[in-house]
Chains A and B, each alone.
Chain A
Amino acid sequence: MTQPETTVQRTLPDNMRIGLFIPCYIDLIYPEVGIATLQLLERFGLNVGYPLNQTCCGQPMSNSGDEKNAQPAERLFVENFKEFDCIVGPAGSCVKQVRCHFDRLEQTEDVKHVRQNTYELVEFLHDILKVESFPWAEFRHSVAIHNSCSSIRGLSIAKPSEIMGVPFDKTANLLSKVKGIVVVPVDRPDDCCGFGGTFCVTDEAVSARMGIEKAHDHVRHGAEYVVSPDMSCLMHQHGIAQRASLDLKYIHVAQVLNGGPY
């Protein structure tokens, strides 16, 4: 069910500078995801810098069509990251925002550079570093994978069920290299969980309905953990599962691949 194994590990130039993009909600609510991402990148000997002036990529505003209030944050993002060769963030929807939705900014060389070189963590590990093993990682649990819609349909992290062709799932591919892990299949792997950014509050009833079905799908297949490259979906799903007293734990794929922190 995954893409053919990659065999050649690409050697990045020693002087290559990686900008660590930690989205605002990870900074404030899930710092452990940021720590896991940084430590994981450092394990590969990469030169990782974290621009301290980063705030938000502008997605909540941009997603609502509010370009006026989104653009100052978008411009700041470009300022913060323009000096880096590669920008890596552990959040599919935020990376999609940078890559696909910075289209209303004036397309300067800096903007183009940042848009073209911003990667979501899984695709960076899978497609750029072509990581073959995570010898330090062990996770003896059954997990359901939740690839976010932005990651699947925006960043091609997995094949969407609507598109015909050979199935692949880069997240599953990376997780399969972790000792002890059991990935359980689910009924609706790429049906939206209902987070959708501001959608989850402006369309609360529909969002909650989508979320609870997602959680039941995970429970039904015996998952102990839900693992995702997108913590924002999990924030919503976790809130839903807690309210419904469902016994599910939610962690980011970086935590599993790095072996914590949890």
Chain B
Amino acid sequence: MSTAKQVDPAAAAELFIIHDQIHEPMHDRFLWATMQRRHAEAAAVPEWEELREIASKIKEHTLTHLDHYLEEFEANATKRGAHVHWAVDAADHNQIVYSILQDHGVTDLIKSKSMLQEECQMTPFLQQRGIKVIESDLGERIQQLDGQPPSHIVFPCIHKTREDVAQLFARTIGTDPNNEDPHFLTEEMRNNARPRFLAAGAGMTGGNFAIAETGTFMVCTNEGNADIGAAVPPLHIASVGIEKMIPRVEDMGVFLRLLARSAEGAPLTQYSSHFTGPRKGGELHIVLVDNGRSRRLGMPEFWHSLKCIRCGACMNTCPVYRRSGGLAYGATYSGPIGVILDPTFDEFKYSELPFHSSLCGSCSEVCPVKIDISDQILKWRRVMAGKGYLPLAKKLSFAVAGHVFAHPEEYHVVEQAAEPAMSYAPHFLLFNRTLNPWVRDRELPQPAKKSFREWYLANRSKHGNVQQ
């Protein structure tokens, strides 16, 4: 068991909701609108459901032959002049990156968005060693300036209003606090960022896909920031999770059609860049990172989570995520995909996450690679319950409920006890009267004067299957 404190997403989500009347409704509305765009874009592709199935199959095939494709990728990338490194975990990844930077005497690093680098906690590691690290993605830069991790894997600062950003920029880069026009704010940040691209000794990116047959990796962005970061400094380092492998270039025709439509309801990201070997006069390093992925690949009930292409559609569609904000999950990955990924890093710390879901199932249906997210959430609940990580009140109450429901004679006593209305709902839901949050925002249902069973005995006792 880890020594980390359990995160409490329900409590954090409550703070997001009651904080004011602005943030949570805005967050919900924006992501709901994104989903409507996604539906419209998906509907415009007649073979959408077939594409999802093919994408899922390609990912399953690749993951079940991962050793083969990783070696093929390494051989082809090396042939094209890239340096390929293997990182077994986060510490290894960070050390490899640091060594490359040291070898080149780099002190200023500009990086584009990478959830993997976030997962590895790379930025604090490098900063502690005197490297200046600047995020070049606008949303990530906003989060960096605010000292917060990204709250969404595609829209890092989606929980912030434009007023929040205006205040933040006023504080950190000296803009007018009363000017919250998005064009103005973006332009100010653009001007602020340009010199940093020029000053950087190295640019870092992630990788959305890694193509084994060519040793190419792809980076998809809307701002073109990854491309400048890769093109201006002489050194390009890319962090790529081992699950990003795709066998062939032609497979990209499947994934690119799904990615941006699922992520943001757009046909494509503005930039879909292929990096095959270093550019002329430059140097390219690719760090292939495991960090728990091969262990996850060995988990029969959970390995499908490795198919994820990080589009964030499950987050946008999730009614719980939309009301909670991503920071409530207290983990690198938030929303439904986070609920099934985070416990693979620390089961105890993230043991409450699988319960932060209404199990509505929308995530599984929207997922472009058909990960059974909702089923995996339930399976993680089983893991947590099996380890005794169920919240104490829930565990105690189920022991009583489980017993009563297994013994009809005891159930009928409860049934006929004419419980006072005010204590009924807790019995049904938790069998725990003292800790009942039902009534905070809801009226209690009234128990009927006569149960169905009593009615049946009085009205149909000669009918059907009476076993008195």
Interface residues of A (CB under 8 A from B): 17, 19-20, 22, 24-32, 34-35, 38, 47-56, 58, 60-61, 63-70, 72-73, 75-76, 83, 101, 104, 149-150, 152-154, 160-165, 188, 190-192, 194-213, 235-236, 238-240, 242-243
The CA of A76 and the CA of B467, in the complex, are separated in Å by 14
Please give, as numbers and ranges, the residues of chain B lying within 8 Å of A58 by CB-CB distance: 405
Please give, as numbers and ranges, the residues of chain B lying within 8 Å of A149 by CB-CB distance: 358-362
In B307-362, which residues have CB < 8 Å from any A CB? 317, 319-320, 323-324, 354-362
Q: Is B194 an interface residue (CB 8 A)?
A: no
Q: Is the CB of B385 within 8 A of A54?
A: no
User: Known contacts being A66-B395, A161-B39, A242-B443, is A201 close to B437, with CB within 8 Å?
Assistant: yes
Q: Is the CB of B399 within 8 A of A63?
A: no
Given contacts A52-B466, A76-B408, A203-B9, could you give 13 more A-B pairs where the C-beta distance is less than 8 Å? A38-B460, A50-B460, A52-B467, A53-B408, A61-B398, A68-B385, A73-B406, A149-B359, A192-B362, A200-B438, A204-B437, A205-B17, A239-B442
The CA of A206 and the CA of B441, in the complex, are separated in Å by 11
Q: Is the CB of B402 within 8 A of A68?
A: yes
Residue from the list B391, B402, B428 in contact with A25, Cβ < 8 A: B428
Chain A minimum-CB-distance residue to B414: A28
Q: Is the CB of A204 within 8 A of B441?
A: yes
The CA of A79 and the CA of B167, in the complex, are separated in Å by 64
The CA of A20 and the CA of B456, in the complex, are separated in Å by 11
Please give, as numbers and ranges, the residues of chain B lying within 8 Å of A165 by CB-CB distance: 49
CB B66 to nearest CB in A, in angstroms, measures 28
Chain A minimum-CB-distance residue to B38: A162
Q: 3 nearest interchain CB pairs? A: A65-B381, A69-B402, A239-B442
The CA of A72 and the CA of B429, in the complex, are separated in Å by 18
The CA of A166 and the CA of B162, in the complex, are separated in Å by 39
Q: Is the CB of A22 within 8 A of B438?
A: no
Q: Is the CB of B365 within 8 A of A160?
A: yes
Question: What are 7 residue pairs bridging A and B, where the CB atoms are less than 8 Å apart in the complex?
Answer: A22-B453, A55-B404, A66-B395, A149-B361, A198-B429, A202-B355, A212-B441
In B359-404, which residues have CB < 8 Å from any A CB? 359-362, 364-366, 374, 378-386, 390-391, 394-395, 398-399, 401-404
The CA of A36 and the CA of B9, in the complex, are separated in Å by 40
Please give, as numbers and ranges, the residues of chain B lying within 8 Å of A204 by CB-CB distance: 10, 14, 437-438, 440-441
Most buried by A among B42, B45, B448: B448
CB B78 to nearest CB in A, in angstroms, measures 41
The CA of A104 and the CA of B429, in the complex, are separated in Å by 22
Q: Is the CB of A154 within 8 A of B361?
A: yes
User: Known contacts being A38-B460, A200-B438, is A153 close to B32, with CB within 8 Å?
Assistant: no
Please give, as numbers and ranges, the residues of chain A lying within 8 Å of B444 by CB-CB distance: 239
The CA of A17 and the CA of B463, in the complex, are separated in Å by 12
In B424-454, which residues have CB < 8 Å from any A CB? 424, 428-430, 436-438, 440-448, 450-454
Q: Is the CB of B455 within 8 A of A31?
A: yes
Residue from the list B13, B384, B430, B452 in contact with A27, Cβ < 8 A: B452
Q: Is the CB of B455 within 8 A of A199?
A: no
Q: Is B18 an interface residue (CB 8 A)?
A: yes
Residue from the list A48, A64, A73, A210 in contact with B381, Cβ < 8 A: A64
Please give, as numbers and ranges, the residues of chain A lying within 8 Å of B445 by CB-CB distance: 29, 235, 238-239
Q: Is the CB of B10 within 8 A of A206?
A: yes
Chain B minimum-CB-distance residue to A153: B361
Q: Is the CB of A28 within 8 A of B415?
A: yes
Summed over the interface, the residue pairs from A and B with CB atoms below 8 Å come to a total of: 261
Q: Is the CB of A52 within 8 A of B453?
A: yes
Q: Is the CB of B442 within 8 A of A34?
A: no
Q: Is B420 an interface residue (CB 8 A)?
A: no
The CA of A68 and the CA of B288, in the complex, are separated in Å by 41
Q: Is the CB of A162 within 8 A of B362?
A: yes
Q: Number of B interface residues, CB 8 Å?
A: 89
Q: Is B465 an interface residue (CB 8 A)?
A: yes
Please give, as numbers and ranges, the residues of chain A lying within 8 Å of B404 by CB-CB distance: 55
Q: Is the CB of A211 within 8 A of B441?
A: yes
Q: Is the CB of A27 within 8 A of B465?
A: no
Q: Is B411 an interface residue (CB 8 A)?
A: yes
Residue from the list B49, B383, B408, B438 in contact with A239, Cβ < 8 A: B438
Chain B minimum-CB-distance residue to A214: B319
Q: Is B48 an interface residue (CB 8 A)?
A: yes
Q: Is the CB of A196 within 8 A of B49?
A: no
Please give, as numbers and ranges, the residues of chain A lying within 8 Å of B17 by CB-CB distance: 205-206, 209
Please give, as numbers and ranges, the residues of chain B lying within 8 Å of A195 by CB-CB distance: 358
Q: Is B137 an interface residue (CB 8 A)?
A: no
User: Known contacts being A206-B13, A206-B324, A212-B441, is A72 close to B402, with CB within 8 Å?
Assistant: yes
Residue from the list A35, A63, A188, A213 in contact with B452, Cβ < 8 A: A35
CB B105 to nearest CB in A, in angstroms, measures 50
Please give, as numbers and ranges, the residues of chain A lying within 8 Å of B356 by CB-CB distance: 203, 206
Please give, as numbers and ranges, the residues of chain B lying within 8 Å of A70 by CB-CB distance: 402
Q: Is the CB of B394 within 8 A of A64?
A: yes
Q: Is B24 an interface residue (CB 8 A)?
A: yes
Please give, as numbers and ranges, the residues of chain A lying within 8 Å of B424 by CB-CB distance: 28-29
Q: Is B178 an interface residue (CB 8 A)?
A: no
The CA of A60 and the CA of B425, in the complex, are separated in Å by 13
Q: Is the CB of A28 within 8 A of B360?
A: no
Q: Is B464 an interface residue (CB 8 A)?
A: yes
Q: Is B128 an interface residue (CB 8 A)?
A: no
Q: Is B468 an interface residue (CB 8 A)?
A: yes
CB B81 to nearest CB in A, in angstroms, measures 42
Chain A minimum-CB-distance residue to B47: A164
Most buried by B among A52, A76, A83, A208: A52
User: Known contacts being A29-B448, A65-B378, A153-B361, is A239 close to B443, with CB within 8 Å?
Assistant: yes
Q: Is the CB of B358 within 8 A of A207?
A: yes
Q: Is the CB of A24 within 8 A of B405?
A: yes
Residue from the list A24, A25, A196 in contact with B357, Cβ < 8 A: A196
User: Known contacts being A25-B428, A51-B465, is A67 close to B440, with CB within 8 Å?
Assistant: no
Q: Is the CB of B378 within 8 A of A63?
A: yes
Chain B minimum-CB-distance residue to A163: B365
Q: Is the CB of B452 within 8 A of A55?
A: no
Chain A minimum-CB-distance residue to B461: A52
Chain A minimum-CB-distance residue to B442: A239
Q: Is the CB of A47 within 8 A of B464?
A: yes
Please give, as numbers and ranges, the residues of chain A lying within 8 Å of B398 by CB-CB distance: 60-61, 64, 66, 69
User: Known contacts being A64-B385, A66-B385, is A210 close to B323, with CB within 8 Å?
Assistant: yes
